[in-house]
Amino acid sequence: MPLRGSPSKMKGLSMTNENDIKDVDAHSGVETTGHSWDGIKELNNPLPRWWLYIFYGCIAWAVVYMVLMPALPALPFTNGSHTPGLRQHSDRAIVNTTMAEVAETRRTEANALLSASLEEIETDRDLQQFAFAMGDSLFGDNCATCHGSGGQGSKGYPNLVDDVWLWDGTLEGIEYTLRHGIRQEGDDQTRFSVMPRFGADGLLEVSDIRDLTQYVVHLSGREADAEAISRAAPIYAAQCAFCHGAEGLGDRTQGAPNLTDAEWLYGSETSEIYDTIYNARNSHMPAWSGRLSEAEIKALSVYVHSFGGGE
Amino acid sequence: MSKVTLNLERSTGGSPPPSEGDLYSKRQQIYPKLAHGKFRTFKWLVMAATLGVYYLIPWLRWERGEGIPDQAVLADFASEKFYFFSIEIWPQEAYYLAGLLILASLLLFLLTSLMGRFWCGYTCPQTVWTDLYIWVERAFEGDRAARIRLDKAPMSFNKAWRKLGKHTVWLIIAFWTGGAFILYWHDAPTVARGWFTGEAPLSAYWFAGILTVTTYFLAGTMREQVCTYMCPWPRIQGALTDEHALNVTYRYDRGEPRGPHRKNESWDGRGDCIDCNQCVQVCPMGIDIRDGSQLECIHCALCIDACDEIMKRVDRPTGLIAYDTDTAVAARAVGQEPPKYRLIRPRTVLYATLMAAIGSLMLFGLMTRATLEVNVLKDRSPQFVRLAEGDIRNGYTLKLVNKASTSREIDLTISGIEGVAAEIVGIDGETDGVITLPVAAHGVDRYRLLITAPAGDSQRRISLSLSDTETGETITTQAPFRSPR
């Protein structure tokens, strides 16, 4: 079998002798590789010189790269890691340095946020713009998963853009909620209230819950079963009015929602309201104190307040 | 041209391959001789002017006010502004740059249709720097004959110091060229000082380096090859010039038949060309103009100077090689009176008209451009929100661009929908439906705008009117207002 490679090199090999059949292409006079594919043969032309030089250059570059940069893994002396290379290059270290530089450039503004009140931050042009920019990225990283990219919320996750607030929509109120969260275990200042599971815990009969559902539908100004409403009125007064108010207007100090408006966090359908009374809804929001810096919490408060719902 | 044969290694047997011919031809070094005459003088003047403009413009100062660069011509990438004397261009006005480029190409077209490759011969940077480099070469190595001798001579101390000196000066010029380039992008005194103390931005070193290398090679070692092989202009210009354009032309009707001429010999029955080859020797492109119009010719007119000098010496009228049109030469060849040069032709009129139109359009735009610009970006998520009372609210980001050098106050009024109310976060409410917004000098201010309106049609529009409280300059713009279906 003919060897592939430079024909002149082949001449020097001992196995090459006069008896070897050289297959030479008649047209070009160039020796072929001897392989034939459906009668098609490949000319054994030498590689272009420039191609060869680039190839050698790549090999040289690879050697230089291995010396300079992290390259060889799992050697005995690399301690489970890799050879560090002369340049000690590390993308992770670069990221850390860059982040530290960014933090340093932001330090002045962040300090300004700390010493200003939330109202001052919102009304001062420079502080406001900085808080918006900071808040925008923080909101995207931490809040948008539940509250939506623009704070529009979704079922079970409050809309921060409208003017309906379960707890408090003032700058200070938003900051408090951010800091301590809602029903956050281990934070004794967290916003806390519990709606009883009237059905699941057997506090009320199923028929009573059905009647109450009609009563709540009626509270929000919609058509409902009149008989059920009259049956449910005393139950509402006894079980619900303490938190939601006699007229169903809710109570912000307890996070009890207003039942008379068009805003329904868990849905306005009869079945959904029934489900809420039967199983109760006690959702959570994490406390961000400690997870975000003080400046970040203040920036985020102003940012959320600026969505439009802020009071 | 030297033949280059492929060294194909072959084994025994087989017929020899058919001749491949030349795969490439080796460059022949050109040794242009120094010409003397009016075009050479003109070229020296143009060189001085163009190089002077290039090297000195960044150092011109132009007072603009506090906190704004005082450099007359500056492309300030850091703050995204372009300064040109009293003109200040913002990124969103890049169409002025487009207009400038269109004007420049039209000027090039016009010049080409009037006098061929005027640009190539006199003002193209490749020509100017090559000319400068040849001047340096001549200073170190002498004129054509001396240079040829020196290149043929074996290496000696004399040859070494001349070559070394030439390349050193070339590199210094190249570095100056690259160094001057970066001055256009940064405050010149600052970056010039910073460059040497290591405080200039990395890009400044990069570009100074790139321009140094390209200048050195393009003007020093590549020269005419840039024009012949790399530049698209010789190909394009064929479509822009015509038989009425002035070209550097050998008047073959007068010159032929050529041949050597001895003193006191009769000029009867022969042409004026004495075949002295001076036109070829001075040519920086290494061509023979007597072969007629050709792609390589950059129309530098040095052969005119060379030929005129000879014609004076042999007592014949000058202008055997001259700026002439193809029609004139053709007419004379058949013994007719050459037609007068036609300055006004459809294409020259067209180019001039287009230039005037675009120029005045840009001038009008520059003189009447608003110093206040407003962008209303509507929130997309959420598109709208329904309030507890049933009203609909949309959120916007309002961007106010103030191109004036003073801060100002802008009154914002919203209309277009019955019962509409506006609020800007952080600004104390509206008085009589007007919110006053401060806008900083030379800056962009962003405001968070909240607009509330009664529920209604899902796709409505609001009008925003913004007027300067002092000058009364008013801008009106519209923005969508979305409601649930």
Say if A290 falls within a structural domain. Answer: no
Q: Do A123 and B427 touch (CB under 8 A)?
A: yes
Q: Find the closest chain B residue to A306 by CA distance.
A: B425
Among A123, A152, A163, beta carbon nearest to B382: A152
Task: For residue B329, give the H/E element and its range.
Answer: helix B326-333
- A199/A272 same-domain check: yes
Residue of A nearest to B15 (CA): A29
Say if residues B248 and B319 touch (Cβ distance below 8 Å).
no
Q: Are residues B376 and B478 in the same domain?
A: yes
Q: What is the mean pLDDT of chain B?
A: 88
In this structure, is residue B452 part of a structural domain?
yes
Three-state DSSP class for B194? helix
B308 and B391 co-located in one domain = no
* Whether A262 contacts chain B with CB within 8 A: yes
Query: A185 lies in a domain?
Result: no
Only one residue has tokens 């805003």, namely A263
Whether B413 maps to a domain, the answer reads yes
Q: Give the total number of structural domains in chain A.
A: 3
Token pair in block for residue B29 = 């070094």
Half-sphere exposure of B301 (CA within 13 A, CB side): 23
Give the minimum alpha-carbon distance from A93 to chain B in angstroms, rounded to a whole number: 21
Longest dimension (CA), chain B: 114
What pTM was estimated for this model as a whole?
A: 0.68
Collect all residues of chain A within an 8 Å Cβ-Cβ radius of residue B380: 150
- Domain of residue B420 covers 372-482
Based on the fold, state whether residues B321 and B384 are members of the same structural domain.
Answer: no
Which residues of B are less than 8 Å from A152 in CB distance? 381-382, 385
State how far residue B367 is from chain A, nearest Cα, in angstroms.
32
Tell me, yes or no, if B6 comes closer than 8 A to chain A by beta carbon.
no
> Is there a single domain that holds both residue B328 and residue B267?
yes
Instruction: Work out how many domains chain B is built from and give that number.
Output: 2
Mutate to test the interface with A, among B387, B437, B444, B451 (most CBs of A within 10 A): B387
Residue among B381, B388, B426 minimizing CB distance to A164:
B388
Contact A45 B426 (CB under 8 A): no
Would you call B426 and A122 a contact, using CB atoms and an 8 Å cutoff?
Answer: yes
State the Cα–Cα distance between residues B432 and B413, nearest whole angstrom: 9
CA atoms within 13 A on the CB side of B15: 7
Angle formed at CA B222 by CA B217 and CA B226, multiple of 5 degrees: 110
Residues of A within 8 A of B450 (CB-CB) are 308
Region A251-280 average pLDDT: 91
Say whether residue A234 is in contact with chain B using an 8 A CB cutoff: no
Per-residue pLDDT of chain B (485 residues; tens, 9 = 90+): 344 344 333 333 334 444 445 555 667 889 999 999 999 999 999 999 999 999 999 999 998 877 788 899 999 988 888 998 888 888 888 888 899 999 999 999 999 999 888 999 999 999 999 999 999 999 999 999 999 999 999 999 999 999 999 999 999 999 999 999 999 999 999 999 998 998 889 999 999 999 999 999 999 999 998 998 889 988 888 788 888 899 999 998 888 889 998 888 888 888 999 999 999 999 999 999 999 888 889 999 999 999 999 999 998 999 999 999 989 988 988 888 888 888 899 999 999 999 999 999 999 998 888 888 899 999 998 899 988 888 999 999 999 998 887 889 999 999 999 889 999 988 876 677 789 999 988 888 999 999 999 999 999 999 999 999 888 889 999 999 999 98
| Residue B47 · residue B124 · CB < 8 Å | no
- For B287-341, what is each residue's pLDDT tens digit? 999 998 888 899 999 999 999 999 999 989 999 999 999 899 889 888 888 888 8
A63 assigned to some structural domain: no
Is A236 inside any structural domain? yes
Q: Rounded to an integer, what distance in angstroms lies between the CA atom of residue A297 and that of residue B117?
A: 67
**Which of helix, strand or coil describes residue B140?**
helix
User: Residue B256 falls within a domain, yes or no?
Assistant: yes
Q: Is residue B273 part of a domain?
A: yes
Per the CB < 8 A criterion, the answer to whether A1 and A34 are in contact is yes
| CATH code for the domain of B429 | 2.60.40.10
User: For residue A215, what is the domain's CATH number?
Assistant: 1.10.760.10
* Yes or no, beta carbons of A45 and B8 under 8 Å apart: yes
Whether B376 is in a domain gets the answer yes
Q: CA nearest B131: which of B277, B28, B285?
A: B285
- CB-based contact, B11 to chain A, within 8 Å: yes
CA A166 to chain centre: 25
Task: Let me know if residue B319 belongs to a domain.
Answer: yes
What number is the ipTM of this complex? 0.72
> Does A49 lie at the interface with B, CB-CB under 8 angstroms?
no
| A26 part of contact set with chain B, CB < 8 Å | yes
B261 and B315 within one domain = yes
Residue of A nearest to B422 (CA): A308
Per-residue b or e along A66-88, where b marks 16 or more CB atoms closer than 10 Å to that residue's CB: eeeebeeeeeeeeeeeeeebeee
Structural domain containing residue A24: 7-43
Domain annotation covers residue B269: yes
